[in-house]
Each structure stands twice: as structure tokens, then as C-alpha cells.
Amino acid sequence: MEPYIPISFLNDFIFCPRSIYFHQLFTTYDNQTYEQKPQVDGKVVHKTIDEKKYSTRKDIYQGYEVYSEKYQLLGKIDLYDLRNKHLIERKKSIINIYDGYIFQVYALYFCLTEMSFEVNTISIYDISSNKTYPISLPANNPVMFQKFEATVSALKNYILDDVSFIPNPNKCLKCIYANLCDKNPC
């Protein structure tokens, strides 16, 4: 059996495939040694979900673990409204709806549907602005669906020492692992 890939790796992989390797190196260390404000803020935002204190309604699933055998992905949903069949991913602050955000909700969608949950709508919620962004279901957006599958495949087949890797200096400036990376151009 092949190992499952955390859904959060999809967004990380798009940011920089090498960041996943460095993140894995730090799993045994105290997070405070490498996390920066965005990571800390994100964990604070997820605290109510992780502790299942966001809602007392029984038809709101929060922090529910999900997996997809087809894509070999696993993770946790933020919120799933069973009554409305609505999947909601929460973000502290959204500047842009990046492909990685969409791929994460697609992965959660596929996990839920494989686990026999019906999902009619998906949205990403920006906590800081109290704004909701509807996301098309994968079947309604074939271009993003193909990009999702290509990204999952690339993630599964990525080789750290890939000589064709070209770092993005703009991303390197924002990377919490930049000082460890031998490809960092900055």
C-alpha cells in the first residue's frame, strides 16, 4: 500500500515543491523554531475547528478526518454542513484565490464523496473580511480539475534533486525554509 499524502501538501507543492522536504525535516522540532506569523495565525484560526468548538450543531462536521483512496490523499475538513451539503474551507486572510486553495477543496471534495457524502457546493471563507468565495465543483470546471489531477501526479512523482527545478525568487523571499535551501537565489 502506498502512503497517503497530506492534502495541505498540494498548496505547499505549488508554492515550492522543495518546501515539503524541509517541512518534513522539521516535524520533530518545536514549530516556533521555524514558523512565521502567517503560520501561527493560521493555527489560531483553526483552533476552534480542531477543538470542534466552532458550532454545537450536530449537522455541522468540523475538523473531520477524510481520505481519498483514488488520489491517495488525506486531511481534515474545516466545515461540512450536512444539511446543505456544503463544504467550507476557512482562511485567515485571502488576497487571491490561488490554485492551491482550489486544489485543497477539490481534494476534500473527493475525499468526502468517496466516503459517501454528497457535496453540492464548495466555498472558501475569508475570516478577516467575512467574505465567502464560491468555488465551482470539479465537474463544472474541467480545466481546474485537470490541473488538480496533474498537480497530484506531479507531487507523487517529484524528485527533490530534479535538475530542471528553477526557484522563484519572489517565493523564496517569503519561504520560511529559504535559509536551508541550496537552490535559494536570494
pTM for the structure as a whole: 0.84
What pLDDT sits at residue 18? 82
Where are the alpha helices (H) located in the chain, listed in sequence order? 8-15, 17-25, 37-50, 99-114, 142-157, 169-174
Per-residue pLDDT, 164 = 76
The cell for 56 is: 454545537
Tell me what pLDDT residue 161 has.
76
**CA 136 – CA 120 distance, rounded (Å):** 10
Residues 15 and 171 sit within 8 Å (Cβ to Cβ)? yes
- pLDDT higher than threshold 80 for residue 22: no
State the pLDDT at residue 43.
Answer: 57
41, three cell numbers:
495565525
- Hey, what CATH class is 5-180 in? alpha beta
Residue 103 has pLDDT above 90, yes or no: yes
Q: How many C-beta neighbours within 10 Å does residue 34 have?
A: 16
Domain spans in the chain, listed from the N-terminal domain onward: 5-180
144 or 35, greater pLDDT: 144
Question: What is the average pLDDT score of the chain?
Answer: 85
The number of helices, as runs of H, and strands, as runs of E, in the chain is 6, 8
Q: Where does the pLDDT of residue 183 fall: very low under 50, low under 70, confident under 90, or very high at 90 and above? A: confident
Cα first-last separation, the chain: 40
The predicted pLDDT at position 162 comes to 74
